[in-house]
Each structure stands twice: as C-alpha cells, then as structure tokens.
Amino acid sequence: MTIPLGYWRPGDDPGSRHFVTFPGPDGAGFTLEGGGHLDEVTVAYETWGTLNPERSNAVLVEHALTGDSHAVGETGPGQLTPGWWNGLIGPGLGVDTNRWFVVCSNVLGGAHGTTGPSSLDRAGRHYGSRFPVITVRDQVAVEVELANHLGIATWRSVIGGSMGGMRSLEWTIGYPERVASSVVLSVGAASTSEEIAHSALQVRAIKADPAFHGGDYYDTGDAPLAGLAIARGLGQITYRTSDEFEARFGRSAQNNGDVLNDDIYAIESYLGYQGEKLARRFDANSYVVLSEAMNHHDVGRGRGGIAQALATVTSPMTVIGIDSDRLYPLRLQRQIVELVSSATPLSVITSSVGHDGFLLEVEQIGKIIKSALEE
C-alpha cells in the first residue's frame, strides 16, 4: 500500500518554511505541563513583510487544528495546500504586509515541520506512541522561544481562530508583557463538554483503525487513513451548519441513482471526500495529539478559574464570533468579552457556513482585524 504524504519529513522540499531547533529554556529541553519532556524542539515557520528596525511591527498568526505555517501562498514544492488565510494577509489586506511583519509557525505536535509524533528523536526513531501529552500552554511556550529567536520582545498583535484562538488567549494571560494586543476568533475560554465529546469520538475513530498500531505505524507500510477520514467527517459536521447541508445536498443522491441499491447520498460523498483529502496531507497521530490538547484547553486551570484568569488581561482584545457557529457558539465569545475589561464589544460575523466562517469570511474578518491593528 502506498501511504500518502501525511506529514513533512526531513529531507522533503521545505517550500517557504524556515526551521530552527531550540534546546529549551536554559538548554534543559522542554518540561511539559503534563509532566513529559522533550530534549529539543524544531519549529517550522514562515514570514511575510519586513520587520522594522524597532522590531515593533510583528504580528503572530496562529493556525487551527489541521493548519500549518503556510498561512499565505499557493501550492507548490513542499506545500500541499494553498494558504489557509489567503485573502486576509498580504499587501493592502486586513493584515497588511506592507505595514506588518507577519509570522506563522507550525504548532508543537503538528505534522508539517515542527516536532510532533511523526518526528524523529535523537536516535532516529519516530516518536509515535512515545510522544508526550501536550497542552496549549506548551505550544505557546515553544512560540515564546521562536519570538526570542526572532528578537521580538512584544507582538503588535497575536491573532488566531479556533485552536489558534486558544493560543492567542494563552499569550495574553501567560505573557502579558509580550502582547500589545490580540484578536481572538471562534473559541471559548475553556473547552466545553460537548466540544470534548465531539473531539473524543474523532480520536476513538482513529485509534480503532487496525492500521493505527497503537500509534506506531510509521514503519509498518500502513497508516490509519480510514480512521482519520472518519474523524475528519465527524469534525466536518461540527464545522458547518445543518442549513448549509440542507441547501447544498438535501436528500439528493450523489449520482442521481438509487440509494437503496448502488448509490449514496450526496452528503455522504461530501464527508468522504473531506476525510480522504485530509488523510492525504495530515498525520493521524498529530490529529490525536492536537485534538487532545484542545480538549485540555482551560485558561483558568491553576489560575483560580476562568474569571480570575481573564481579569488579568490588560492589553486591548478584539473578540470575533460567527453567528452560525455551533461548535463554538456566540455565548462563549460573549463570556470572554464580559470577563476581559480591555476587550472591545463583541464583533459578530454573519455567515451560513458555521465555524469554518473564521477561515472563509475573509472580507468581513479582514475589516475588523485591520481596524484593530490600526487602533
């Protein structure tokens, strides 16, 4: 069986990625919130625009679950997908690269150049099942090292949606002196039980695939592609809306045939396509590790609760929600605005596509972000 390229391998074309390896604070590696340890972490990142002499115009853009450092650009060598925020970042756009120096790194635990389960340890073995439990705070700790490497003492803004929004929140709370402002999209202050439930079922689908091999499948000639495709299909239901599905697919058959015999419903075909597309470009172990990190998201953990944690935020914060988002409904963004004294009134995006609106409604979102950066 030929395994699709689901993760970036050392020696692959780097595309527009830069790489840097960190030995951790004081050269002692990274001790993780869950008690695990990594001797070192390699980070893949991309940049756009020019850093000014004062190093005061840097903007950190944070990707979501299956994103990577390629926020802007086209497909090409080393880049399997176009930029996930094309139309929002660039000259004259919402995040204007004529003015701002934009940085986007692949997250710790990811599959596209930053240390994750598919990476090789110092002995040349894939981490696989040995990759430790990580949290959003661990991911941000690695991003702090990247900021230090780039000589950026303070981000002009940290901007992210969904899992990226989790990291934006953690930056403002954990490193307030290093964040001049933030934009938080389509997320809450802590994962809800329903979000955890959706995510847990996706993880179970991957682990139930016989090709998963307990997470150690890299050298078996196989991979849990079927489990990952099912997980993505389950996730896709939460990313979009029932109204959109009804308008696009209804009860129509994919091939206008007989669904009682040799045809399937169009919605089934759509979910299958989305799952197979992801399986060709993403690593199943990374999907598991990052999903579980999102489940652990709670800005109030160890800080006296959500209200006490958010009360410490003093820098300007812009919070954006999608009116049709059923994964992270508006009540979660309203809670953040109510508890962060420096937050502006909630900005609500009108969209028919649900949670994915934070990726797709670039014109509406771009105007809000541009205004936030100018202020």
First to last CA, the chain: 54
Are the C-beta atoms of 144 and 100 separated by less than 8 Å?
A: no
Amino acid at 239: Y
Clarify whether 355 is annotated catalytic.
yes
- Report d(CA 373, CA 182) in Å as an integer: 9
User: Out of 69, 347, 355, 356, which one is annotated catalytic?
Assistant: 355
**Kindly report the CA angle at 198 between 361 and 229, in degrees rounded to 5?**
80
**Kindly report the CA angle at 135 between 237 and 177, in degrees rounded to 5?**
115
User: Out of 68, 283, 325, 356, which one is annotated catalytic?
Assistant: 325
- Report d(CA 365, CA 363) in Å as an integer: 6
- Report d(CA 342, CA 57) in Å as an integer: 21
> Going edge to edge, which strands form the sheet with 58-62?
18-22, 41-48, 101-105, 58-62, 157-161, 182-185, 317-322, 347-349
Clarify whether 162 is annotated catalytic.
yes
Q: Three-class SS of residue 329?
A: coil
- Report d(CA 216, CA 195) in Å as an integer: 27
User: Out of 69, 105, 119, 162, which one is annotated catalytic?
Assistant: 162
- The residues annotated with a catalytic role in the active site are 162, 325, 355
